[in-house]
Structure 1
């Protein structure tokens, strides 16, 4: 990871780079990961979707497992897709690959986009809560179902992939205090919600333009060189 932005108090940090390498983040230092990976839109058919799920679970998941505390939560907001022939079930594909990597699915919810021209199949987003193998959580009665429009809260961003009410609930459900990580930070919505809850946040964004958008939204600056 190259460029770094941070808040004045150092509680919000944004790195630009590939989140398959999270070298600046100490092992076991993250309390919860909340992220929405880029949607699967390239290629067609189940084999292409399988590769997408495998790359997320293996290519990125190895570092998620390293930096997350043993009792921390991994929340993935994953969009489902219809490839023209069938509904692919991206949540099931990703869950299967994560299980092979030692994760356990603890709970599941969804939010569906309203006011969208997409077919219904492509408007469903699953909220998947994972923990490391052998550490189960007791289910709670918290509502994890929403019908909300796709946010567009910043003029320079394409959209913010997760509505703020959804992020707020996911963080509240995850009781462990400590830093929040978003390895696909986008426009920084998870960081905004984390800051309002008084939590530390670490974001990683590969696209330099989107990293600048997130830095402006969160009022981050480059640290001074000593």
Structure 2
């Protein structure tokens, strides 16, 4: 697998609290240059990012981020405004407390409502796998499969852990065939990226892969 193919799986991401317009602009420019899948940026920057990217790069943003415990009505409002601002893809965080309470119908209904709002725009569902046990992860595979969402996603990158190979293998085994998989959080090498893709990930949420490629180019490798 060559580097151009790997980059085509990448959601080039900047979601830190301190992200500035200049840094977002750089994410967009790099995303276009390296032909990544999308740029994933904070909601407040969607209009700015969309204007910078034009039709050259899909813009992804996050909803209910990073904790997921907002009211569904708030997540719907966030989503509506993000779509109006030009977002092409939405990554939402589930209500993890409801998973712990085994209130899976609540989680499924919330996802369905956001997908109804997104229509043909891509909806990815962040289950924050590091906070769930194996049975809860399996239940979330079922919920996401039934919800109409497009992707199940491992992590926000803001909790106690990120993507693991084991989680991608588990997702691949338990999601329906129409649900794609996004690995995110802690993907720090080309080898890791390749392994995640081989295990079944269709997207990689990371900023480091583009940085590695830029570093190799500047050093002459």
Fold-level similarity (TM above 0.5)? no
Relative to its length, the structure with more helix (as a share) is: 2
- Alignment TM-score, normalising by the size of structure 2: 0.41
Relative to its length, the structure with more strand (as a share) is: 1
- Alignment TM-score, normalising by the size of structure 1: 0.40
